[in-house]
Amino acid sequence: MKNRLILISIHLIVISGFAQNKECGLKKECLCDLTNEPVAHSFDLSDIIIQGKIIDLDTVQISEIITKESILKIEQDSLNRAECAKNVMRNTKVVRAKIGIKEIFKGQSELNEIYIITPLKEQFCSYSGFNIGENYIIYGTKNETADLYFLWTIDLDYFQLKPNYSIWTNKCKRTKLTEESELKELRETKKRLKNKR
């Protein structure tokens, strides 16, 4: 019972804080530093880790990567937090990088090419280092929604992502230009985990 009261209190604080937050973002600035984190730590926190080449790169409105149902829900919802969702949908862009996969260290893909999404704005921890033709090691997270990147909401279902756009990265991940030393460490980690099974 005590845990339920604490949880209800936290939800009320979050809701009241959200109602007063006119900017709608989770944070005003991105604060993270992974410079001292070992590869194994980032390996554990990622859903997918690949090495590949950027073959296409563009910037799109978030409305292009969410489902039609999400767009309808945002447009028809009359709750206060829906106004923030509408604002985000109208004014928020993401970077969409098409990657030709060369090697998979974690996760699965039946495709040779996948999309990786990252927020465009620095305040949402955008990874801004992608360039067409360059090779990267990408640490990604699979998401069903993009709400946590942009909104302070309990529902977490405004920005339901289309399946092709579910893998996201940001500067708080370990995503970087390909380094041979890191490739070696990732191969060793993958092999070690495979041998444990």
Q: What is the pLDDT of residue 79?
A: 73
Q: Mean pLDDT over all residues of the chain?
A: 82
Gap between the terminal Cα atoms of the chain: 40
Report for 40-54, 69-83, 183-197: range of highest mean pLDDT? 40-54
Arithmetic mean of pLDDT, 88-94: 88
Question: CB neighbours of 185 closer than 8 A, spacing ≥ 6?
Answer: 39
* pLDDT number for residue 31: 77
Q: Average of pLDDT values for 64-69?
A: 95
Contacts with 87 (C-beta within 8 Å, 6 or more apart), sequence order: 24
- At residue 124's C-alpha, the angle toward residues 24 and 60, to 5°, is 90
Tokens read off for 55: 């073959």
Q: What is the mean pLDDT of the segment spanning 124-152?
A: 89
Q: Which domain holds residue 75?
A: 2-196
Structure confidence at residue 32 as a pLDDT band (50, 70, 90): confident
Q: Give how many domains the chain has, as a whole number.
A: 1
pLDDT reported for residue 91: 86
Q: Give the mean model confidence (pLDDT) for residues 110-117.
A: 94
Domain at 95, CATH number: 2.40.50.120
Which pLDDT belongs to residue 96?
97
Whether residue 11 is predicted with pLDDT greater than 60 in this model: the reply is no
